[in-house]
A = this chain, B = another copy of it.
Amino acid sequence: MKIDKSLLTGSTTMLILKLLEQSDMYGYQMIEELEKRSQNVFTLKAGTLYPILHTLEQEGRIESYTKEIPSKRPRKYYMITKNGRKLLDEKKAEWQFYATAVNQVLGGEGYVGV
């Protein structure tokens, strides 16, 4: 199925923070991990991800460090900060609020299941 990418709008930051909440990751890894966890629904593009990472770092939501891998290109790992966790909680609440409202309009029970 070809999903309308515009539905992703606004939730990408939340999904990235969620990944980093569980473990430090480098950019490329996030793209693969997100694809895997969503069962190929989200194919986050590099051109979408990196600008978001840079913005989050500037805002103090995440921090980065470089890790040297023998005979590999160095990887830039990102870790979530306390501030980032706070943002994640807010985004999650927003998402649940929003999804519940959509389901209500669609005639569902309004339970989002998270």
Contact = CB atoms under 8 A, between A and B. Distances in A.
Interface in A7-33: 7-11, 14-15, 18-19
Contacts of A34: 105
A108 B97 contact: no
Given A10-B4, A97-B1, A97-B3, A113 B103 contact: yes
* Copies per complex of this chain: 2
Nearest to A34: B105
A8 B111 contact: no
A69 interface: no
Contact of A113 (B19, B97, B108): B108
A102 interface: yes
A38 B11 CA distance: 19
A14 B102 CA distance: 10
Interface of A: 1, 3-11, 14-15, 18-19, 34, 37-39, 41-42, 91-95, 97-114
Given A8-B98, A11-B102, A41-B98, 10 more contacts: A1-B94, A5-B10, A6-B9, A6-B10, A7-B9, A8-B10, A18-B106, A38-B102, A95-B106, A112-B112
